[in-house]
């Protein structure tokens, strides 16, 4: 929940959707009607399909075209602002860094030729077309074939007096002659994104030589699995790879990945929900729909889309040998005996690739034979499990580099991988790419009485609060503490610690009024909040016995919507004194006081900011936990941190597929209105950080959101007499990236920036490490500037972005993204998970969502 003090171990390196913890320490499988891999075609064609699958194992050709898994790259979006001279900065100490990239080498005139392939008579089935073509792979060399279009590096000469370059005769298993006619239709340009899609497919073909298994879109090594018997979980190590054009070279990015495989089958999940739930069918559907499962008998993965409780293993389907039950099919095909004849069947919809291959019917799976991949929320909340996994997944830089080198070495030594790359006349450099980087100057943290602390490599100033007061504070004279009667003693002791901690930071907190509830039912919290709000408190502290989503949601709906008042939620487990953590309670109290001060518009600390009249804005989106078609976009803006510590926040609701442009510009108009009311003028510059943008959404953001927002802001500025319009930089912030970089086989210091070599030529982008981590490898954040007319040089934008990572008041240290981005995520997450409606406008000037 979102009101306990931030703990470094919880706040660093967390993915999206984990913010509540900052506050509360809280083969074929049969198709419907027939087995997967067969169709209603003749038996001769079925044999040819099986032959096609066998041919795909050859080293040179790729008879299966795109392989399993989704495509690596979406279309390239050119987001680099026009007129940009250079995106390389100069400020900071120069260093050399190693990256997780390898150069892809190819001859100077390397060309991919594109051909159209026709079959006479026509062959409808894509698998069969691939199988027939693969018989001529010696002639074709390395190739990719999707059933119609053929890509290869061999240039064939035109047949005289014919539009075709090749005419190949072959036979199917039925003895029928098939003529394959190949026509040249063009070449793939070196700058064309299609070339990199082909290169990625070539790499995936080469990776098959390492005897890895494709799970979803990445390759993993089941032979090197790590078994955690105690938790019934396996960790499969593997690799995430992507080839694309970077500034001057084609580079392969390789990141070490791990896949969680549960040893329990979905039958165990079914058994559990039958024991524990009144409506086991609904509970089982909630548990398994959307889960990716692995079937060990054919080493394939499927997405569970539904559960058919009317069907069972005794149900029959039609095969080429007639009707057969699933029990008989698995015994005959895999020698597997199904134990429970009454279990329902899992339903998996065919993928686009299945459909292209002629399989368009539902795929039926047996729970007993399917085991889930990934983690459940319950598993994520299991501290012991996450700790055990972390020992294997949190690789220190030196170990990560060793694993990357081993990956490269395996590719260089695998005969099948060598032949694939050789057939395409490309090779992989053996060394990790080394590039120039810079370490930006350390920031000075400003406390009360203008005392300053030069932030060091720890990127943490928690201990400095012992000898410094907060930058600005709000004395708390009227406040309520709501607690169950049984917890009153522990609560009062903790409140005393808070008062003592505040006194050390020169902040006064008066004794609160206590409301002792007979028990901790949600209705009692609601009634207690109503009683407290009637007496106009500055803030309310509420004590929960345990981490409970229902009670937390009730409290936040009441205090953020119905009775708007800043609230601080804590759990008894966090505040109750225990022998093993007695010394840590003062630290918890200090963080709670800092958080309450921030919620009341105080500023625990500040940074030195050279620009006056600057508004920084963060925007993020979270999907509703109750309605998958609904999302909430949150905007948080500063009111010029050089002269004010105030913020503005707002939330908008939108449905799936609905553009955000209208809501974003409307909320931005409200933020500008708040700024003008506070300062009497519009901001001179706006620095807008947009989080929550995937690669597939970048085109929409660049070509719709930014243009619409800029036009709206220009109108506002021109109506205010500023004819030059709004001076704004719009930056897309991305945390989920695979890029890593190292300095002398160690983690780079906070402030290490990379803006060349591994950046992208079509973008104005840079990578920034703003945190320090004690375990594992630090993850940089990607910044993509897609609009900029602020008039600042590249390194000034980099330095401003780094400064903004220092003022997130839930943690006295730096965070991965600019603070306004993290605030926007906190707010969007709170609404999407707990409130499910827009908060009261009466709170929009306070950081009530911390």
Which string of DSSP letters, residue by residue, matches 824-835?
HHHHHHHIIIII
Checking if the pLDDT of 827 tops 70, the result is yes
For residue 374, being part of any structural domain is answered with no
Residue 22 predicted with pLDDT over 60: no
306 has catalytic annotation: no
Sorting pLDDT into bands at 50, 70 and 90, what band is 356?
A: low
Q: Rounded distance, CA 76 to CA 736, Å?
A: 18
Q: Both 589 and 658 in a single domain?
A: no
Tell whether 583 is covered by a domain: yes
Query: Mind giving me the DSSP string for 43-64?
Result: HHHHHHHHHHHHHTTSSSEETT
- Of the candidates 515, 620, 755, 795, the residue annotated as catalytic is 620
More confident residue, 791 or 72: 791
Confidence of residue 351 (pLDDT cuts 50, 70, 90): confident
User: What is the C-alpha separation between 398 and 403, in angstroms, rounded?
Assistant: 9
- The larger pLDDT score, comparing residue 4 to residue 249, is at 249
Task: Answer whether residue 674 is part of any domain.
Answer: yes
Residues 630 and 587 in one domain: no
- Compute CA distances 212 → 55, 166, 220, 738, 841, whole Å: 19, 35, 5, 20, 54
β-pairing, 34-35 with 30-31? antiparallel
588 and 645 fall within a common domain: no
Q: How confident is the model at residue 145 (pLDDT cuts 50, 70, 90)?
A: very high
Q: Computed from CA positions of residues 77, 82, 83, 88, in that sequence, does the dihedral angle turn out positive or negative?
A: negative
Active site residue 691: yes
Please state, for a pLDDT cut of 70, what percent of the chain lies above it.
90
Count of CB atoms within 10 A of residue 557's CB?
19
Q: Return the pLDDT at 767.
A: 98
Q: What is the pLDDT of residue 350?
A: 85
670, 685: one domain: yes
- The confidence score (pLDDT) of residue 583 equals 62
Same domain, 478 and 557: yes
pLDDT tens digits, one per residue of 49-74: 222 232 322 333 333 333 333 344 45
**Active-site annotation holder among 48, 62, 691, 788:** 691
Token couple for 650: 């707002």
Token pair recorded at residue 44:
């001769």
The better pLDDT of the pair 810, 355 is held by 810
Looking at residues 304-318, what average pLDDT do you find? 93
CB 313, CB 366: distance < 8 Å:
yes
- Which one-letter DSSP state was computed for residue 247? S
For residues 138 and 52, membership in a common domain is answered with yes
Across the chain, mean pLDDT equals 87
> Which residue, 220, 197, 172, is CA-closest to 76?
197
Confidence band, pLDDT 50/70/90 cuts, at residue 567:
very high
User: So what's the pLDDT on residue 74?
Assistant: 54
3-state secondary structure of 166: strand
Q: Tell me which residue has tokens 């989704």.
A: 70
What pLDDT, on a 0 to 100 scale, did the predictor assign at position 75?
Answer: 67
Residues 514 and 620 placed together within one structural domain of the fold = no
> What is the phi/psi pair of residue 814, to 5°?
-80, 155
- Give pLDDT, residue 579: 60
* pLDDT exceeds cutoff 80 at 447: yes
82: Cβ contacts below 8 Å, ≥ 6 apart: none
Considering the domain architecture, whether residues 773 and 676 belong to the same structural domain is answered as yes
Task: Name the pLDDT band for 395 (thresholds 50, 70, 90).
Answer: very high
Assigned domain for 635 exists: yes
Confidence of residue 461 (pLDDT cuts 50, 70, 90): very high
Residue 363 lies in a domain: no
Q: Do 709 and 571 belong together in one domain?
A: no
Instruction: Give the per-residue pLDDT at 284.
Output: 94
The residue range of the domain holding 535 is: 473-599
Q: Please check whether residues 741 and 758 belong to one and the same domain.
A: yes
Which of 19-33, 357-371, 410-424 is most confident? 410-424
Structure tokens at 125: 């089935």
Among 578, 599, 620, identify where a domain stops.
599
Q: Tell which residue, 381, 415, 407, 70, has the closest CA to residue 239.
A: 407
What is residue 688's three-state secondary structure?
strand
For residue 415, pLDDT over 80 is answered with yes
Q: With pLDDT > 90 as the criterion, what percentage of the chain qualifies?
A: 66
To 10 degrees, the CA torsion angle through 387, 391, 393, 395?
Answer: 130
Which DSSP helix (H) or strand (E) runs through 104?
strand 93-105
Q: Do 732 and 806 sit in the same domain of this protein? A: yes
Q: What is the pLDDT of residue 26?
A: 31
Whether residue 29 has pLDDT greater than 90: no
> What does each C-alpha distance from 154 to 26, 110, 112 come to in angstroms?
60, 10, 8
Q: Has residue 31 got a pLDDT over 60?
A: no
Compute the CA torsion angle 570, 576, 581, 584 (nearest 10 deg): 50
Average pLDDT over residues 254-260: 93
Instruction: Give Cα separations from 645 to 28, 615, 668, 818 (angstroms).
Output: 62, 11, 18, 16
Is 549 inside a domain boundary?
Answer: yes
Is 7's pLDDT higher than 90?
no
- Indicate whether 19 pLDDT > 50: no
- pTM summary value: 0.86
| b/e sequence 123-162, b meaning 16+ C-beta within 10 Å | bebbbbbbbbbbbbbeebebbbbbbeebbbbbebeeeeee
Average of per-residue pLDDT across 727-735: 96
The predicted structure's pLDDT at residue 62: 39
Q: Is the pLDDT of residue 444 over 70?
A: yes
What mean pLDDT is predicted for residues 121-145?
Answer: 89
Which of 599, 626, 654 finishes a domain? 599
pLDDT tens per residue, range 660-670: 778 889 999 99
The residue among 542, 564, 599 that closes a domain is 599
pLDDT at residue 478 in the model: 95
- Do 565 and 612 belong to one domain? no
**Residue 709 in domain:** yes
In this structure, what DSSP letter does residue 559 have?
Answer: I
pLDDT for residue 712: 94
Q: Is 304 among the domain residues?
A: no
Q: Which CATH number covers residue 727?
A: 3.30.420.10
- Name which of 32, 826, 771, 779 is nearest 362 in CA terms: 32
Confidence band, pLDDT 50/70/90 cuts, at residue 742: very high
Number of domains present in the structure of the chain: 3
Is the N-terminal amide bond of 8 cis, ω within 30° of 0?
no
Using left for φ > 0, alpha for ψ between -120 and 50, and beta otherwise, residue 103 falls in beta
CATH of the domain at 539: 3.40.50.2300
CA-to-CA distance for 497 and 541, rounded, in angstroms?
14
Widest Cα–Cα separation across the chain:
98
Surface-to-core class of residue 346, CB atoms within 10 Å of its CB (0-12 exposed, 13-18 middle, 19+ buried): buried
**pLDDT interval class at 36 (50, 70, 90):** very low
């Amino acid at each position: 929940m979102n009101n306990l003090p931030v703990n470094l171990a919880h706040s660093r390196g967390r993915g999206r959707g984990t913010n509540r913890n900052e506050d509360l320490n809280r083969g074929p499988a049969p198709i419907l009607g027939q087995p997967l891999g067969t169709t209603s075609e003749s038996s001769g064609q079925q044999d040819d399909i099986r032959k096609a699958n066998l041919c795909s194992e050859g080293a040179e050709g790729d008879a299966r075209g795109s392989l399993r898994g989704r495509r690596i790259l979406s279309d390239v979006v050119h987001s680099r602002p026009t007129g940009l001279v250079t995106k390389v900065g100069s400020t900071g100490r120069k260093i050399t860094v190693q990256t997780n990239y390898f150069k892809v080498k190819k001859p100077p005139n390397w060309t991919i030729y594109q051909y159209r392939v026709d079959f006479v008579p026509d062959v409808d089935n894509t698998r069969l077309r691939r199988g027939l073509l693969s018989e001529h792979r010696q002639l074709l060399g390395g190739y990719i074939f999707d059933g119609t279009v053929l890509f290869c590096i061999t240039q064939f000469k035109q047949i005289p007096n014919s539009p075709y370059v090749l005419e190949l005769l072959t036979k199917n298993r039925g003895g029928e002659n098939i003529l394959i006619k190949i026509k040249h239709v063009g070449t793939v340009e070196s700058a064309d994104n299609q070339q990199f899609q082909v290169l990625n497919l070539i790499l995936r073909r080469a990776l098959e030589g390492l005897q890895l298994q494709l799970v979803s879109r990445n390759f993993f090594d089941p032979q090197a699995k790590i078994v955690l018997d105690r938790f019934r979980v396996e960790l499969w190590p593997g690799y995430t790879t992507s080839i694309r054009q970077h500034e001057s070279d084609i580079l392969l990015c390789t990141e070490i990945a791990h896949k969680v495989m549960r040893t329990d089958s979905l039958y165990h999940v079914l058994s559990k929900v039958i024991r524990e739930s009144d409506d086991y069918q609904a509970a089982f559907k909630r548990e398994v729909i959307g889960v990716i499962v692995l079937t060990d008998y054919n080493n394939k993965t499927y997405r569970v889309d539904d559960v058919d409780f009317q069907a069972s293993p005794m149900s029959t389907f039609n095969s080429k040998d007639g009707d057969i039950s699933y029990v008989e099919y698995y015994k005959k095909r895999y020698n597997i005996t199904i134990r429970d004849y009454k279990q329902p069947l899992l339903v998996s919809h065919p993928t686009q690739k299945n459909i292209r291959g002629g399989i368009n019917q539902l795929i039926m799976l047996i729970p007993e034979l399917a085991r889930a991949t990934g983690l459940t929320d319950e598993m994520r909340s299991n501290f012991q499990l996450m700790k055990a996994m972390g020992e294997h997944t949190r690789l220190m830089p030196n170990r990560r580099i060793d694993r990357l080198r081993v990956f490269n070495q395996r590719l260089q030594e695998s005969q099948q991988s060598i032949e694939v790359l050789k057939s395409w006349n490309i090779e992989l450099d053996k060394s990790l790419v080394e590039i120039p980087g810079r370490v930006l100057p350390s920031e000075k943290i400003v406390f009360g009485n203008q005392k300053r602390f030069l932030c060091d490599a720890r990127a943490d100033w928690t201990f400095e609060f012992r000898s410094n007061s907060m930058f600005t504070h709000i004395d708390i004279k009227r406040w309520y503490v709501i607690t169950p009667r049984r917890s009153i003693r522990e609560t009062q002791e903790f409140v005393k610690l808070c008062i003592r901690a505040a006194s050390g930071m020169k902040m006064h907190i008066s004794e609160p009024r206590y409301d002792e509830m007979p028990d901790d039912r949600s209705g009692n919290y609601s009634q207690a909040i109503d009683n407290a709000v009637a007496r106009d408190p500055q803030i309310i502290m509420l004590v929960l016995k345990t981490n409970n989503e229902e009670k937390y949601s009730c409290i936040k709906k009441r205090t953020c919507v119905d009775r708007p008042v800043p609230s601080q939620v804590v759990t008894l487990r966090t505040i109750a004194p225990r022998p093993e953590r007695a010394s840590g309670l003062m630290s918890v109290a200090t963080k709670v006081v800092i958080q309450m001060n921030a919620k009341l518009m105080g500023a625990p600390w500040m940074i030195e900011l050279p620009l006056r009249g600057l508004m920084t804005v963060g925007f993020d989106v979270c999907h509703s936990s109750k309605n998958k078609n609904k999302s909430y976009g949150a905007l948080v803006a500063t009111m010029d941190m050089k002269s004010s510590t105030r913020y503005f926040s707002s939330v908008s609701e939108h449905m799936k597929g609905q553009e955000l442009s209208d809501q974003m510009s409307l909320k931005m108009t409200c933020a500008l209105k708040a700024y003008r009311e506070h300062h009497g003028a519009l901001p001179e510059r706006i620095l807008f950080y947009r989080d929550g943008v995937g690669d597939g959404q970048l085109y929409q953001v660049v070509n719709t959101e930014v243009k619409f927002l800029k036009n709206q802001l220009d109108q506002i500025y021109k109506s205010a007499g500023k004819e030059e319009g709004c001076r704004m930089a719009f930056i897309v912030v991305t945390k989920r990236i695979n890029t890593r970089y190292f300095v002398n086989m160690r983690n780079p210091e906070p402030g290490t920036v990379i803006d060349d070599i591994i950046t992208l030529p079509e973008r104005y982008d840079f990578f920034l490490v703003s945190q320090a981590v004690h375990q594992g490898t630090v993850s940089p954040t990607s910044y993509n500037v897609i609009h900029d007319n602020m008039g600042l040089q590249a390194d000034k934008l980099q330095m401003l972005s780094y400064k903004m990572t220092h003022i997130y008041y839930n943690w006295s240290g730096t965070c991965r993204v600019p603070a306004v981005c993290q605030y926007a995520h906190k707010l969007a997450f709170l609404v999407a998970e707990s409130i499910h409606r827009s908060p009261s406008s009466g709170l929009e000037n306070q950081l009530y969502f911390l």
